[in-house]
């Protein structure tokens, strides 16, 4: 009876509660109607907001009518300026030089003050501990009061992919993530207005699909509301409000008495407490709002959230529930904003947030006219960063208009504390979506017009250091997660511009701080008293009970007691990764099938088992008939290494149903591996995904395999620790590495406004020059080992190298990331110039001997032989095939040194200290061989192709065979012949005649004499001698032809000609004036007047010099011809097969004779033809200049030249580089200018010379191609610069 009475009483109570809930439902309906009106107001506010945003981009223009537009007045004081950080020499990448100059200009310039910086450049750094550019950036913010906003990077969706900036050692730069709203999806990306679950709006209105299908984010409404009814059930009366908070029994159970009151009252509080939050609706919370505020978001339904929507709007977008039920808004409006898939995520490697806020990351923007496009859709954090910077400029402009005081710290806190928290992970949104109106209201409420009354904490930044390594936050990732960890956290307030700050403000700082944290697994003190000194506290992380494979984020926030409504003063971010340690079979992880909606990101964290070296990722899609786009991002963080060190990014573009795709990537054992699988943010269809990660490992005894050339065989032990693996060792040599030392180094002061850091700190530069040769055309990569791969974290401001050829022509450049810049070079000599900048000369002095590495690609890869035993490697036995290794088994692999006498190595000019580099792989699987590779180095310990030396014992010199006097005479003769080409012309002639008296038929003596004659008269292959300037035209030119001299004297002058006048204009000098001319000396204040007799005397002397050259060349050539039996040589060259026993010796001798006679004939012909070859143009002739007429040589000279040419043609082709110079001169003498130009043009394609280019211009001038001549001379400064390009 008692039990029955209790049940009846409970039923009565439940009926009363249902009546109350019905009343609440009626109130909610009324609230929705009110929200409809509020939405209309929000639309008007949005219009004003977009108008303000548009005015930001127009704020650089002067307004003619101030006061006509209040929104425009707010940004009237804003002005835009820009610095180009991209350097076209390094493909538009930012350089340290550009960054330091831009920061120096921001610090101090005579034109304007900079308030906000937007920077959309960035790279990934190895460490944020220090860096020269980071130090300067901190000075810009902390000393000069500039608000710096930077893009977070586009390397998501994995964690810790934020670049630098904002990842500096000091948290002074705001990082911005990329956000996309429903309006952007519709307007910018033209996305279809369709429900993300595959249900159209018509289906929704007709009741053909449930609300589950309409909720994005990968979970249904069942998951959203902890009850047993969908959102559509509630207005239809299918369940009561009590079903949502209770979740333990349905209303039918309650009415029938099937569950007790205890089931309905979890937590021991009243029925009114059952609304989300756990307290009664009448209870007042510290924020001054009722229990209705406890709906997701923390504000009452009547309150307006930042962003212009009511509380009911927040979970589902920008329209009210009434709008959704009545179909007054599209599904695009109901979808919440999300982050782009590729937007980088925090935290930074040292625990900082990395991403401070997020902003729209897409824009349809104007394009340069050369693209032939008026506008283009661009997206990325490079779009979100300027959007945030424009919003910050609005805030600063409004503060100035209002006369309020601020610092970069107070503005940043306003932006972060008023940002709208989105229903996405905090790593990509930071504090939330930036809200201009709320931030400005915050600043208006908490700012003052008097500097003296400004709160001292608004002038302070609070530096957080966690642990003993100076981290910006707590970040537990590469750990086991099996015990509590205590962190000693230091908080230090630092005043803005501390060096020049007011000590009174420091003494005023006395704060009582309240510390709060939402996570139960973080323990911390409740309060902290802060004055102007560093304070320490301990934060304990207790991971017990946290689910494995997930990441957890929270923060310990510090509020000023009494002003909690201002938001946190600072925060200590806490990120904890709980890796999965226990794998199936010790190496396998499998995920359960999950539904992936558009923008859905799932990540799992696995500790790579010991012995693992690579992992294989398998993914399969099901229950969808559409191809899918899935992104895999696998990341491991190695200490003080960039996130790119162990980073694998793969997009599966065409993943069809039940199709399995595989991807492999390298891993490091013992580090936590993040496997992030993301559905593309704009994907139109849902899909079910399941994947697995399987670890493999064949690890060598050393991660870098080094072989030495003095050791013919090198042993490497490999271990398979995880599972059975197939071993197939392959070693390949790919590059030749040589180290260069600078042949020149100098330190210069740059100075000037752009190279001086305020106040009065000039920048110095160190320029190092390196020379090297390429024996054969290949791809080259210069690399500075000390500074390579360091930019923002580098110890120097800037580093840049430029590559030049022997003619000082610029070929290419590279910066810190040398692996990005490979230059293809031809055979020749080259110079690399390295540029390093810093303000401290003592640091640059330490780098004056810094080596440079040149990495050259081999013409073909060389494989090393791998053997399973030492015996087979020494004897050249059977090579090692693939072998199955059992778990825990260790096997040796023996690599044999390559034969350095092979053709591929002989052309490299190898010497001691050079390195041959390549890779080694041990896995048999094709995918694994591409990722699981280890660097290979072969160090050359001794010179290659050196003479073999034998040891000499005591008294061995006396046992050596004595030499005869004939051998001595031959050695003495060879030594004298060697000196013939080296001595001065007169001494060489004396020595030559002495040798000819003793050995008149010795061929090498005549060849050496010809070489000396050629060196003395300096006759290059194109006929411009510096010792002989005679021309046959001088014999027929009349001295009265002044017009021709005036127009062509400069263009047709020889480089060795001397001026015949000191004060007279150049036009007065005769065309043929040169060294030795009989010219009257100039008196004081007078001028030289050339006479006809003096001119004729000069021509005569030049002619005598030419005759001296011709006679010497003809005489020496004739002696060479006497020593060579030409018919015998021609007979040998016409023989296809020589079967004689001494065929090899005969071939060597004949080749020597061919070279000697060809060279002698060419030098003889060059000397004969020289006066009749048109003079070389050294400047572009004036327009309208007629082509000069050159006389033909006498018939005897022509006949002799024809004979020389005919003989040479029997031995070589005209295009042969050894005879090409003669034929170019010969064709000019014969007035075959076009043939000479064709021959010369082909030669210049292989060997680019300035003299050859000038000769080609001369030929085109003679042919009448004046426009070509003009273009050749215009290009000369670029093709043949006088000095190296400056940095």
Angle at 416 between CA 410 and CA 418, to 5 degrees: 100
Instruction: Specify whether the CB–CB gap between 524 and 486 falls below 8 A.
Output: no
- In this predicted model, what pLDDT tens digit does every residue of 849-895 receive, in sequence order? 999 999 999 999 999 999 999 999 998 889 998 899 999 999 999 99
Its sign, for the CA torsion 877, 879, 885, 891, is: positive
> Can you count the helices (H) and strands (E) in the chain?
35, 46
* Residue 273 banded pLDDT, cuts 50, 70, 90: very low
The pLDDT of residue 1035 is 64
Distance, in Å, from the CA atom of 390 to the CA atom of 75, rounded to the nearest integer, reads 10
Lowest pLDDT segment from 62-66, 207-211, 913-917, 932-936: 62-66
Greater pLDDT, 1266 or 3: 1266
Lowest pLDDT segment from 33-42, 416-425, 428-437, 874-883: 33-42
The pLDDT of residue 185 is 86
Lowest pLDDT segment from 185-189, 408-412, 528-532, 725-729: 185-189
> What percentage of the chain exceeds 90 in pLDDT?
44
- In this predicted model, what pLDDT tens digit does every residue of 543-562 receive, in sequence order? 999 999 999 999 999 999 98
Q: What is the rounded (10 degree) CA torsion for 964, 966, 972, 973?
A: -160
The pLDDT of residue 609 is 95
What does the block give as tokens for 211?
């609300």
- 529 phi, psi to nearest 5 deg: -95, 125
Distance, in Å, from the CA atom of 413 to the CA atom of 422, rounded to the nearest integer, reads 18
Q: What is the rounded (10 degree) CA torsion for 778, 781, 785, 786?
A: 140
Position 1125 pLDDT exceeds 60: yes
- In this predicted model, what pLDDT tens digit does every residue of 624-679 receive, in sequence order? 556 678 999 999 999 999 999 999 999 987 777 777 899 999 999 999 999 999 99
Average pLDDT over residues 889-909: 89
The pLDDT of residue 391 is 94
The pLDDT of residue 1014 is 81
Give 972's contacts (C-beta < 8 A, 6+ positions apart): none
Average pLDDT over residues 79-86: 78
The pLDDT of residue 1026 is 52
Angle at 649 between CA 644 and CA 650, to 5 degrees: 165
* Residue 959 banded pLDDT, cuts 50, 70, 90: low
The pLDDT of residue 717 is 95
Lowest pLDDT segment from 295-299, 578-582, 761-765, 814-818: 295-299
Give 1184's contacts (C-beta < 8 A, 6+ positions apart): none
**Is residue 1055 helix, strand or coil?**
coil
Greater pLDDT, 1060 or 98: 98
Instruction: Specify whether the CB–CB gap between 167 and 793 falls below 8 A.
Output: no
Beta strand 660-666 with 883-885 is unpaired
The pLDDT of residue 189 is 85
Please spell the DSSP secondary structure of 1171-1193, one letter per residue.
Answer: GGSPPPP-SPPPTTPPPPPPPPP
Beta strand 588-590 with 687-696 is antiparallel
The pLDDT of residue 27 is 53
- In this predicted model, what pLDDT tens digit does every residue of 1154-1180 receive, in sequence order? 899 999 999 888 888 888 888 888 888
Its sign, for the CA torsion 1240, 1245, 1250, 1253, is: positive
Closest CA to 697 of 534, 887, 940: 887
What number of other Cβ atoms are within 10 A of residue 170's Cβ?
17
- In this predicted model, what pLDDT tens digit does every residue of 592-608 receive, in sequence order? 999 988 889 999 999 99
The pLDDT of residue 949 is 58
Peptide bond before residue 413 is cis, with ω within 30 degrees of 0: no
Greater pLDDT, 476 or 992: 476
Please spell the DSSP secondary structure of 136-204, one letter per residue.
Answer: HHHHHHHTT--EEEEE--S--SSSS---BTT--SS--SEEEEEEE-HHHHHHTS------TTS--HHHH
Greater pLDDT, 525 or 1118: 525
* Residue 49 banded pLDDT, cuts 50, 70, 90: very low
DSSP 442: H
- In this predicted model, what pLDDT tens digit does every residue of 746-786 receive, in sequence order? 999 997 888 999 888 999 999 999 999 998 899 999 999 89
Query: Which residues, in sequence order, are bridge partners of residue 713?
Result: 896
Over its C-alpha atoms, the chain yields an Rg (Å, rounded) of 42
What is the distance of C-alpha 1128 from the center of its chain?
A: 63
Average pLDDT over residues 432-457: 93
The pLDDT of residue 984 is 85
What number of other Cβ atoms are within 10 A of residue 975's Cβ?
9
* Residue 269 banded pLDDT, cuts 50, 70, 90: very low
The pLDDT of residue 948 is 56
Query: Which residues, in sequence order, are bridge partners of residue 635?
Result: 647, 674
Distance, in Å, from the CA atom of 763 to the CA atom of 1244, rounded to the nearest integer, reads 43
- In this predicted model, what pLDDT tens digit does every residue of 226-254 receive, in sequence order? 334 443 343 333 343 334 333 444 443 44
The pLDDT of residue 525 is 95
The pLDDT of residue 835 is 94
- In this predicted model, what pLDDT tens digit does every residue of 329-346 receive, in sequence order? 444 444 468 899 999 999
The pLDDT of residue 1085 is 40
* Most confident residue range from 450-459, 896-905, 1071-1080: 450-459
Position 564 pLDDT exceeds 60: yes
Position 963 pLDDT exceeds 60: yes
**Is residue 643 helix, strand or coil?**
coil
Closest CA to 28 of 231, 204, 203, 255: 231
The pLDDT of residue 1182 is 83
What's the chain's average pLDDT? 79
What does the block give as tokens for 377?
């859709």
Give 895's contacts (C-beta < 8 A, 6+ positions apart): 705, 707, 713, 714, 716, 729, 731, 864, 865, 866, 867, 873, 920
Q: Quote the crossing angle between the two packed helices 1220-1229 and 1195-1209, to the nearest 10°.
A: 150
Burial of 1283 (0-12, 13-18, 19+ CB in 10 A): exposed
The pLDDT of residue 945 is 59
The pLDDT of residue 405 is 94
* Residue 397 banded pLDDT, cuts 50, 70, 90: very high
Distance, in Å, from the CA atom of 513 to the CA atom of 530, rounded to the nearest integer, reads 7
What is the distance of C-alpha 1086 from the center of its chain?
A: 65
* Residue 718 banded pLDDT, cuts 50, 70, 90: very high
DSSP 1285: P
Greater pLDDT, 941 or 429: 429
- In this predicted model, what pLDDT tens digit does every residue of 1086-1117 receive, in sequence order? 444 445 555 567 777 778 878 888 888 888 88
* Residue 257 banded pLDDT, cuts 50, 70, 90: very low
The pLDDT of residue 916 is 94
* Residue 1028 banded pLDDT, cuts 50, 70, 90: low
Give 1180's contacts (C-beta < 8 A, 6+ positions apart): 1051, 1257, 1269, 1270, 1273, 1274
Distance, in Å, from the CA atom of 894 to the CA atom of 865, rounded to the nearest integer, reads 8
Distance, in Å, from the CA atom of 458 to the CA atom of 464, rounded to the nearest integer, reads 17
The pLDDT of residue 623 is 64
- In this predicted model, what pLDDT tens digit does every residue of 125-147 receive, in sequence order? 998 777 899 999 999 999 999 99
Predicted TM-score (pTM) of this structure: 0.75
The pLDDT of residue 587 is 94
Average pLDDT over residues 889-912: 89
Residue at token pair 């960039």 = 642
Instruction: Specify whether the CB–CB gap between 1276 and 1179 falls below 8 A.
Output: no
**Per DSSP, which regions of 637-792 are E strands?**
646-655, 660-666, 672-679, 687-696, 699-700, 705-708, 713-720, 725-740, 744-749, 756-757, 761-762, 764-774, 778-783
What does the block give as tokens for 557?
């926030």
Lowest pLDDT segment from 12-26, 156-170, 429-443: 12-26
* Residue 205 banded pLDDT, cuts 50, 70, 90: very low
DSSP 1077: -
Distance, in Å, from the CA atom of 1197 to the CA atom of 524, rounded to the nearest integer, reads 104
């Amino acid at each position: 009876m008692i039990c029955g009475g209790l049940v009846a009483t409970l039923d009565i109570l439940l009926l009363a509660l249902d009546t109350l809930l019905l009343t609440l439902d009626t109130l909610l309906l009324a609230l929705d109607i009110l929200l409809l009106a509020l939405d209309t107001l929000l639309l008007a506010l949005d219009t004003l907001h977009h108008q303000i945003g548009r005015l930001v981009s127009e704020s650089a223009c002067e307004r003619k009518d101030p006061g006509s537009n209040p929104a425009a007045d707010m940004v009237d004081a804003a002005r835009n300026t820009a610095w180009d950080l991209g350097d076209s020499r390094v493909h538009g990448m930012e350089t340290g030089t550009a960054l330091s100059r831009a920061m120096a200009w921001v610090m101090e310039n005579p034109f304007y003050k900079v308030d906000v910086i937007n920077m959309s450049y960035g790279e990934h750094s190895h460490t944020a501990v220090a860096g020269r550019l980071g130090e300067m950036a901190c000075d810009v913010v902390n000393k000069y009061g500039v608000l710096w906003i930077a893009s977070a990077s586009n390397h998501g969706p994995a964690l810790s992919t934020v670049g630098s900036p904002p990842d500096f050692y000091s948290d002074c730069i705001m990082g911005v993530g990329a956000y996309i709203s429903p309006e952007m999806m519709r307007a910018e990306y033209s996305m279809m207005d369709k429900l993300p679950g595959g249900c159209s709006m018509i289906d929704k209105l007709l009741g053909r699909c449930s609300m589950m299908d309409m909720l994005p984010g990968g979970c249904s409404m069942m998951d959203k509301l902890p009850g047993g009814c969908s959102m559509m059930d509630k207005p239809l009366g299918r369940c009561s409000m009590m079903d949502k908070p209770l979740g333990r029994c349905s209303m039918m159970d309650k009415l029938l008495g099937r569950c007790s009151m205890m089931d309905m009252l979890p937590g021991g509080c009243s029925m009114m407490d059952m609304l989300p939050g756990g307290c009664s609706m009448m209870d007042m919370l510290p924020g001054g709002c009722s229990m209705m505020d406890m709906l997701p978001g923390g504000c009452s339904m009547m309150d307006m959230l930042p962003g212009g929507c009511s509380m009911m709007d927040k979970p589902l977008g920008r329209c009210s529930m009434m709008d959704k039920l009545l179909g007054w808004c599209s599904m695009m409006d109901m979808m919440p904003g999300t982050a782009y898939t590729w937007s980088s995520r925090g935290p930074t490697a040292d625990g900082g947030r990395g991403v401070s806020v997020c902003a729209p990351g897409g824009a349809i923007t104007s394009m340069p006219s050369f693209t032939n496009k008026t506008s283009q859709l661009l997206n990325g954090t490079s779009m979100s960063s300027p959007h945030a910077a424009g919003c910050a400029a609005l805030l600063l402009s409004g503060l100035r208009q209002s006369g309020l005081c601020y610092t970069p710290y107070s503005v940043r806190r306003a932006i972060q504390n008023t940002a709208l928290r989105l229903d996405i992970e905090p790593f990509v949104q930071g504090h939330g979506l930036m809200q201009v109106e709320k931030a400005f209201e915050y600043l208006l409420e908490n700012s003052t017009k008097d500097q003296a009354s400004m709160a001292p904490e608004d002038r302070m930044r609070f530096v957080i250091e966690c642990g003993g390594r100076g981290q910006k936050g707590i970040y537990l990732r590469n750990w086991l997660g099996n015990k509590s960890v205590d962190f000693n956290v230091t908080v230090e307030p630092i005043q803005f511009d501390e060096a020049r700050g007011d000590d009174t403000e420091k003494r005023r700082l006395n704060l009582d701080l309240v510390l709060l944290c939402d996570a139960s697994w973080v323990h911390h003190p409740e309060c902290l008293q802060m004055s102007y000194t560093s304070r320490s506290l301990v934060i304990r992380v207790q991971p017990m009970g946290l689910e494995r494979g997930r990441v957890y984020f929270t923060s310990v926030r510090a509020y000023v007691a009494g002003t909690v409504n201002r938001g946190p003063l600072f925060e200590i971010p806490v990120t904890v990764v709980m890796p999965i340690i226990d794998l199936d079979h010790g190496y396998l992880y499998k995920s359960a099938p999950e539904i992936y909606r558009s923008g859905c990101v799932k990540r799992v964290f696995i500790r790579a088992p010991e012995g693992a070296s690579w992992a294989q990722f398998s993914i399969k899609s099901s229950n969808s008939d559409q191809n899918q786009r899935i992104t895999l991002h696998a990341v491991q963080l190695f200490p003080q290494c960039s996130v790119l060190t162990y980073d694998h990014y793969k997009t599966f573009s065409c993943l069809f149903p039940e199709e399995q795709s595989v991807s492999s990537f390298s891993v490091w054992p013992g580090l936590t591996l993040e496997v992030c699988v993301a559905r593309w943010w704009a994907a139109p269809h849902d899909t079910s995904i399941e994947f697995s990660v399987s670890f493999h490992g064949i690890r060598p005894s050393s991660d870098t395999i080094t072989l030495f050339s003095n050791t013919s065989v090198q042993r490497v032990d490999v271990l398979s620790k995880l599972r059975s693996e197939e071993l197939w060792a392959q070693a390949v040599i790919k590059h030749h590495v040589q180290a260069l030392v600078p042949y020149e180094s100098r330190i210069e002061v740059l100075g000037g406004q752009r190279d001086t850091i305020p106040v009065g700190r000039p920048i110095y530069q160190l320029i190092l020059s390196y020379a090297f040769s390429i024996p054969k055309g290949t791809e080259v990569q210069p690399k500075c080992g000390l500074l390579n791969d360091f930019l923002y974290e580098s110890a120097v401001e800037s580093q840049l190298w430029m590559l030049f050829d022997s003619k000082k022509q610029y070929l290419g450049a590279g910066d810190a990331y040398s692996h990005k810049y490979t230059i293809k070079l031809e055979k020749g000599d080259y110079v690399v110039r390295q540029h390093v900048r810093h303000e401290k000369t003592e640091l640059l002095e330490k780098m004056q001997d810094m080596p440079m590495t040149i990495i050259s690609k081999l013409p073909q890869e060389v494989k090393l032989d791998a053997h399973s035993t030492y015996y087979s490697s020494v004897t050249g036995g059977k090579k090692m095939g693939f072998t199955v290794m059992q778990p825990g088994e260790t096997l040796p692999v023996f690599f044999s040194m390559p034969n350095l006498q092979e053709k591929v190595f002989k052309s490299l000019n190898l010497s001691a200290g050079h390195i041959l580099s390549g890779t080694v792989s041990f896995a048999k699987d094709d995918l694994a061989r591409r990722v699981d590779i280890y660097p290979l180095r072969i160090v050359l310990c001794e010179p290659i192709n050196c003479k073999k030396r034998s040891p000499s014992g005591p008294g061995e010199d006396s046992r050596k065979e004595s030499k005869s006097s004939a051998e001595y005479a031959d050695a003495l003769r060879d030594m004298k012949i060697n000196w013939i080409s080296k001595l001065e012309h007169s001494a060489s002639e004396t020595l030559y005649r002495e040798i000819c008296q003793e050995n008149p038929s010795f061929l090498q003596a005549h060849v050496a004499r010809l070489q000396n004659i050629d060196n003395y008269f300096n006759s290059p292959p194109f006929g411009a001698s510096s010792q002989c300037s005679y021309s046959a035209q001088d014999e027929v030119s009349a001295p009265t032809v002044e017009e021709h001299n005036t127009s062509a004297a400069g263009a047709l002058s020889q480089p060795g000609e001397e001026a015949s006048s000191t004060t007279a204009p150049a036009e007065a000098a005769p065309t043929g004036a040169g060294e030795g001319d009989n010219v009257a000396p100039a008196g004081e204040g007078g001028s030289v007047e050339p006479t006809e007799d003096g001119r004729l005397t000069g021509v005569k002397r030049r002619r005598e010099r030419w005759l001296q050259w011709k006679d010497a060349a003809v005489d020496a050539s004739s002696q060479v011809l006497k020593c060579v039996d030409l018919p015998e040589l021609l007979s040998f060259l016409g023989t296809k097969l020589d079967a004689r026993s001494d065929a090899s010796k005969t071939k060597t001798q004949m080749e020597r004779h061919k070279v000697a006679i060809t060279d002698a004939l060419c030098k003889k012909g060059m000397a004969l033809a020289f006066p009749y070859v048109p003079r070389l143009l050294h400047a572009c002739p004036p327009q309208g200049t007629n082509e000069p007429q050159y006389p033909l040589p006498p018939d005897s000279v022509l006949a002799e030249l024809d004979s020389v040419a005919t003989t040479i043609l029997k031995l070589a082709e005209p295009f042969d580089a050894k005879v090409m110079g003669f034929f170019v001169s010969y064709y000019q003498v014969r007035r075959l200018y076009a043939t000479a130009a064709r021959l010369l043009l082909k030669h210049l394609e292989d060997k680019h010379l300035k003299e050859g280019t000038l000769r080609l211009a001369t030929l085109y001038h003679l042919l009448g191609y004046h426009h070509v001549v003009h273009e050749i001379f215009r290009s000369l400064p670029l093709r043949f610069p006088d000095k190296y390009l400056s940095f």
